[in-house]
Amino acid sequence: MLIALRQRERGQIDFGLLYGGIVLLGLLAVRFLPVARFLPSCYFRSFLGIPCPSCGTTRSIVSLVRGDVLGSLVMNPLAAVVIHIALLWFGYSVLAALFVLPRPSLLLTEKEKNAVRLGAVMLALANWAYLVIAL
């Protein structure tokens, strides 16, 4: 594994700005608009009786925009962590765009990539197991 600092190339998609921006927009929408009121309930849960892997995400966002970080983690830990990472990434991308800073990029071997894939699946399953028990 190698972490390299690189300048953004011309024409390269800035995923931090793009997806961090979308997450920020979502948080602002939940904070200032009655979005959460119109969201449908979970069909997965209504049908099978157990929460789906993304259950609690809306409640996690609502808790977060109210400043309740712990409550946000309780509702859906994985979603809360992903939102925090996206916001940090967005912040750094804005700074990097303004001050032409290098961006960290992770270089992985094929074996390490497989380990990351497996880790991601395990993390999602562990999060789901927590939701089934907790929600």
Partner 1 sequence: MTCPHCGKEIFDNQAFCQYCGGRTGSGSPLPTTETGGRKKTAWEDRDVHGFFGGILRTIQSTLFSPTEFFRTMTVTGGLTEPLLFSLIIGMVGLMISYVWQILLQGTIQNFLPPEMSSAAGYDMFHGLGIAVLAILSPVAIILWLFIWSGIVHLCLMLVRGARQGFEATFRAVAYSHSTYLFMALPFCGGIIAAIWSIVLIIIGLKEAHEISGGKASFAELFPIFLCCGVAIMGILFLGLMAASVGALMQQ
Instruction: Give residues with Cβ within 8 angstroms of 105, minimum separation 6.
Output: 3, 4, 5, 6
Minimum distance of partner 1 from residue 83's CB (angstroms) = 14
Tell which one of 1, 7, 18, 122 touches partner 1 (CB under 8 A). Answer: 18
7 contacts partner 1 (rule: CB under 8 A): no
> In the bound complex, what is the minimum distance in angstroms from residue 39's beta carbon to partner 1?
10
Q: Which one, 95 or 125, has the nearer CB to partner 1?
A: 125
CB-based contact 51:45 (threshold 8 Å):
yes
Cβ-defined contacts of 59-67 (< 8 Å, 24+): 61/26, 61/27, 61/30, 61/36, 62/30, 62/36, 64/27, 65/27, 65/30, 65/31
Nearest distance, CB of residue 130 and partner 1, angstroms: 16
Residues that bind partner 1 (CB under 8 A): 2, 4, 6, 9, 11-13, 15, 18-19, 22, 25, 37-38, 40, 42-44, 47-48, 52-54, 105, 107, 109, 117, 120-121
